[in-house]
Amino acid sequence: MKKIATLLLSAGLVAMSAQAVPSPQEDLKHFRDYFQRKFPGLKLDELRNGINALDENHRMQWEAMEEFPPYEEFVDKGKALWEKPFKNGKSFADCFGKDPSKVRVKYPQWDAKKKRVVTLELAINECRKANGEKPFKWKKGPIAWVSAYLGYMARGQKIHVVIPNDPDALKAYEHGKHFFYAKRGQLNLSCADCHVKYAGRRIRGNLLSPALGHVTHFPVFRGKWANKSKDGDGLGTLHRRYGGCNKQQRARPFKAQSKVYRDLEFFHQYMSNGMTINAPSYRE
Amino acid sequence: MKKRTILTIGLAALLTAGFGSAQAGHSSKLKAAYEKELAHAKALVEKAASVEGEWRDIRWKKSKKKFLPSAIAAAKAGDYKKAMKLLKIVEFQAEMGYKQAMAQKNAGPQNYGF
Amino acid sequence: MKIKNLRITTAGAVLLAAGLVLAAQASASQSALAKGKKLAFDRKKGNCLACHQIEGGTQAGNIGPPLMNMKQRFPNKAKLRAQIWDARKRNPHTIMPPFGPHRILSDKEIDLVTDFIYNL
């Protein structure tokens, strides 16, 4: 009898605490409302342009860049890789389906069997491994080319991350959400400090972009990364950028495609649901 | 004349040897203290990492400071004093990173206003 | 005549010496202020310019209020130091880094920065 009472009580507590956590749908609504109130002059799909939407100089530089996009040759390399058969005669199409424009919108997705978030880049490398090919390096180069090609082919479609009503999927989502809001590193900063609370302000010489719409143009082509590479390849994946921002917090960056970053991506991409894909795009 | 020189050299050698072994005893004590400290520091770093609270400059390969690997390198070069100093920084940063993660356990969206 | 002359010279020397001491003191605090400024502007140290406009600094951010007229804002220098040491005391959610508790700056460095900011 006592046991049952305790059980009921704890069930009640669990139900209560479950109720206290807002659903992803509610989070999304608040997230969007916040930015739309903060930047009342900008339409939802303008916000995805980050600092290029907020500052005239950046906008002009960006528009000039987009006339002769520096990423085009790397998107073409991605296309070639997509079409090139593996040694076993199969190709990416055998993993992802024949239509390259239908791939980007399916990721990140929840893998119910293995209870994990699968990002587009993870799926690309798992496809290679399954076909006896060496996986690509995670943050730049061929993986970013293929991902950029798939993003390019999906331009105009809307981000559509599905978070199933499965406790494990919700746990991964909550983990990513917590990572986004928690202060970390010696400087004690959170992603939200810079990209939510103070979006639109300047930190030293840098304008801070709103997190809403962040993911629409990834992999991104950065001038800074292009300058660092030998052949002007400025493409980098979302997880490469996560590492750079963790470093700014003076926190130790996590490995690209680690559970932490995949969960973060699950939350981060979900917050841009309904926004139009525009990958890849130029940033400074 | 010659005898005297030999004697002097012999005496000097004796003194050096004696001094050297005293130093060796001292340094093996230092080494033991260092090893104990190193194990402690490593445990604290793992604890911070287990809650995703590790800071940048403890051991990340691209950090310019890399306090933990630098401490190990200093000890290898025989500079235990420097190694111990660096380990203290590692311990401080690891403990603060852990505490920070605990304090941020309930972090979430706030009412930011504008 | 000679004696008088000597007296004047002595007086002059005393005055000169006093002047030198004063000048030395002034330049000591001047150089302390310069040290504080350097720490406040250095991206690897205080980097206060990341968020605050400060006279003489370039590429300042606009996350926090401009730091000016500080003696009016903080007549009590200890309060100013406490704000720089740990801004969380006044605002638990602040974006301003806890310079003291996280040892981003040492005690001495915070003294130097406080002096510099106090004199803005």
| The pLDDT value given to residue C14 | 47
Q: What is the pLDDT of residue B24?
A: 54
Q: Is the pLDDT of residue C11 over 80?
A: no
Burial of B40 (0-12, 13-18, 19+ CB in 10 A): middle
Return the pLDDT at A150: 98
Domain boundaries, chain C: 32-118
Residues contacting residue C116 through CB under 8 Å, at least 6 positions apart:
C33, C35, C36, C37, C39, C40
CB of C43 within 8 Å of a chain A CB? The answer is yes
**Who among B55, B112, B114 is closest to A250 (CB)?**
B55
* Domains of chain A from N-terminus onward: 26-284 (1.10.760.10)
- Residue B110 sits at the chain C interface (C-beta within 8 Å): yes
Q: Is B100 part of the contact surface with chain A (CB cutoff 8 Å)?
A: yes
Chain C residues whose CB is inside 8 A of the A198 CB are: 63, 95
pLDDT at A261: 98
Predicted local distance difference test score (pLDDT) of residue C24: 45
pLDDT of residue A14: 42
Tens digits of pLDDT across chain B (114 residues) = 455 555 454 444 444 444 444 455 677 889 999 999 999 999 999 999 999 999 999 999 999 999 999 999 999 999 999 999 999 999 999 999 999 999 999 999 987 765
Of A38, A178, A197, the CB nearest to B107: A178
Q: What is the reported pLDDT for A5?
A: 45
DSSP string over B33-82: HHHHHHHHHHHHHHHHHHTT--BTTTT-TT-SS-HHHHHHHHHHTT-HHH
The answer to whether A191 is a known catalytic residue is no
Identity of the amino acid at A43: K
From the list A281, A276, A269, the residue with the least C-alpha distance to A46 is A276
* CA atoms of C71 and C116, how far apart (whole Å): 11
A193 in contact with chain C, both atoms CB, cutoff 8 A = yes
pLDDT of residue A278: 95
Tally the C-alpha atoms within 13 A of residue C45's C-alpha that lie toward its C-beta.
Answer: 16
What is the pLDDT at residue B111?
77
SS3 A110: strand
Find the DSSP H helices in chain C: 2-41, 70-73, 77-85, 107-118
- Amino acid C55 reads E
Which residues on neighbouring strands pair with residue A184, listed in sequence order?
Answer: A189
Residue B38 falls within a domain, yes or no?
yes
| Inter-chain touch A184–B93, beta carbons under 8 Å | no
| Count of residues making up chain B | 114
Contact A193 C95 (CB under 8 A): yes
Q: Which residues of A touch C54 (CB under 8 A)?
A: none
* Cα gap A283→A70, rounded to integer Å: 11
- Judge whether B11 lies within some domain: no
Q: Which residue of B has its CA nearest to A35?
A: B114
- DSSP H helices, chain A, are 2-20, 24-38, 44-47, 51-54, 56-67, 72-83, 92-96, 120-130, 142-153, 167-181, 191-192, 223-228, 238-248, 259-270
B6 lies in some domain = no
- Within 8 A of C40 by CB-CB distance, chain A residues are none
Evaluate whether A1 touches A150 at the Cβ level (below 8 Å).
Answer: no
Q: Specify the number of domains making up chain B.
A: 1
> Closest Cα partner for A93 from A107, A79, A105?
A79
CB A282 within 8 A of CB A62: yes
Q: Quick check: C30 pLDDT over 90?
A: no
Amino acid A242 reads Y
CB-facing half-sphere around the CA of A277: CA atoms within 13 A: 28
Measure in Å the smallest separation between the Cα of B31 and chain A Cα atoms: 29
Full pLDDT tens readout for chain A, 284 residues: 444 444 444 444 444 444 578 999 999 999 999 999 999 989 989 988 989 888 888 999 899 888 899 999 999 999 999 999 999 999 999 999 999 999 999 999 999 999 999 999 999 999 999 999 999 999 999 999 999 999 999 999 999 999 999 999 999 999 999 999 999 999 999 999 999 999 999 999 999 999 999 999 999 999 999 999 999 999 999 999 999 999 999 999 999 999 999 999 999 999 999 999 999 999 99
The whole domain housing B89 covers 23-104
C44-93: per-residue pLDDT in tens?
999 999 999 999 999 999 999 999 999 999 999 999 999 999 999 999 99
Structurally, at CATH architecture level, domain C32-118 sits in: Orthogonal Bundle (1.10)
Cα–Cα distances in angstroms (integers) from residue A125 to residues A54, A137, C43, in the given order: 36, 9, 38
Q: How many CB atoms are located within 10 Å of the residue C54 CB?
A: 18
pTM attached to this predicted model: 0.89
Instruction: Write out residues 53-72 of C within 8 Å (CB-CB) of A.
Output: 59-63
Averaged pLDDT of chain C = 85
Token digits of residue C11: 């007086």
